Amino acid sequence: MANEIEHVHCLIIGSGPAGYTAAIYAARANMKPVLYEGMQPGGQLTTTNEVENFPGYPDGVTGPEMMMQLKAQAERFETEVRSGWITKVDFTNGGKHKVWVDNEKEIHADTVIISTGASAKYLGLPSEQKYLEMGGGVSACAVCDGFFYKGQETVIVGAGDSACEEAHYLSKICTKVTMLVRRDVFRASKIMAERVKKTPNIEILFNTETEEVLGNDMGVTGARVKNNKTGETKDIPCTGFFVAIGHKPNTDIFKGQINLDETGYIKYEEPGTSKTNIPGVFVSGDAADKNYRQAITAAGTGCMAALDAERYLASIED
């Protein structure tokens, strides 16, 4: 019965390290969590290559492998992991938190843990969007798509740690990588920037912005770029155009329902907890974190959210 309302004690939205860690803790506390995976099961880590900084993996682990292990661990304690996209929420009914899945199924949850993460940003140029939609050479994930440009030339936009990491990754696959940095400095940490500067087949163009992604019916053939100091424009040949300019929190469905900051990140009601301004609704991971954005911090806040949810459930059952 598609329209039957389901009641759950603990609903977890999102399947990155935050969501699965919340699930492991909630399941072991017998809260019978139901976790919806969302559009990108496993979250952003599934688009990462080697994770070398998660404690407990002395030899590193790939992002997808780590997410499979986290999922298996959550399921071992009987978390119900479901495919589905949360399309609407209504948190205006006191303790009954209403959530709709795929615009259809309605769930009433005693507690909700939001672990919806963040998504890659794009430049917003019509030509970029055209080739992105066509699947013809624009990507925000070098680790996912770099392989398709093996032995070819690529361009990457951005100057943060992500851009440096991805440029370095591409440099091992591609003959040449041109990095477009809009200012005259990197935002990335010194060590990451230095690694890029030392890589012979990475060319860095400072003060350079993209005017247009060039291409034909087959896909991308180049990028028209402009030096914002001299005004000079030139075309750089490439078959892959990568964008690594940051992320946007996946919180649109919560607008008007819970407190967000000016950039859309969910605000913690009480520092040092996972509480939002709605009792019974908790947040973990990148949906509320614009500073750290690490798998380990996401996992840590997932744990906090499950513990806070457990305490909340105990308080309403008293």
Q: Give min distance, CB of 170 to ligand NDP, in A.
A: 14
- 190-197 vs 161-171: helix crossing angle, rounded to 10: 30
What does residue 223 show for φ and ψ, rounded to 5 degrees? -135, 130
Examine residue 182 and tell whether it contacts ligand NDP (CB under 6 A): yes
Structure tokens belonging to residue 185: 């400095």
Taking the least distance from each CB to ligand NDP, the nearer of 101 and 159 is: 159
Examine residue 211 and tell whether it contacts ligand NDP (CB under 6 A): no
User: Are the beta carbons of 196 and 166 closer than 8 angstroms?
Assistant: no
Q: Give min distance, CB of 54 to ligand NDP, in A.
A: 11
Region near ligand NDP per CB under 6 A, out of 106-114, 158-166, 168-176, 198-206: 158-166
Size of the site for ligand NDP (CB under 6 A): 16
Q: Tell me the C-alpha distance between 138 and 175, whole Å.
A: 18
Q: Which of residues 283-312 bind ligand NDP (CB under 6 A)?
A: 293
Q: Give min distance, CB of 186 to ligand NDP, in A.
A: 7
Question: Which residue in the set 11, 45, 99, 163 belongs to the binding site for ligand NDP (CB under 6 A)?
Answer: 163
Catalytic residue check, 141: yes
Q: Which of residues 31-70 bind ligand NDP (CB under 6 A)?
A: none
Structure tokens belonging to residue 39: 């559009």
Taking the least distance from each CB to ligand NDP, the nearer of 165 and 310 is: 165
Question: Which residue in the set 19, 187, 236, 278 belongs to the binding site for ligand NDP (CB under 6 A)?
Answer: 187
Examine residue 159 and tell whether it contacts ligand NDP (CB under 6 A): yes
Q: Tell me the C-alpha distance between 311 and 231, whole Å.
A: 59
Catalytic residue check, 145: yes
Structure tokens belonging to residue 271: 């520092």
3-state secondary structure (DSSP) of residue 151: coil
What contacts 202, CB < 8 A, 6 or more positions away? Answer: 167, 168, 171, 176, 177, 178, 179, 196
The single residue of 110, 145, 286, 308 carrying the catalytic annotation is 145
Q: Tell me the C-alpha distance between 113 and 282, whole Å.
A: 5
**Per-position b or e across 253-263, b if 16+ CB within 10 A of its CB:** bbeebbebeee
Region near ligand NDP per CB under 6 A, out of 83-91, 130-138, 142-150, 160-168: 160-168
Examine residue 264 and tell whether it contacts ligand NDP (CB under 6 A): no
Q: Which of residues 73-132 bind ligand NDP (CB under 6 A)?
A: 123
Q: Residue 2: what residue type?
A: A
Structure tokens belonging to residue 151: 């032995």
Region near ligand NDP per CB under 6 A, out of 3-11, 59-67, 133-141, 244-252: 244-252
Q: Tell me the C-alpha distance between 75 and 284, whole Å.
A: 19
Examine residue 145 and tell whether it contacts ligand NDP (CB under 6 A): no
Which positions are catalytic? 141, 144-145
- Contact residues toward ligand NDP (CB under 6 A) are 123, 157-163, 165, 182-183, 187, 245-247, 293
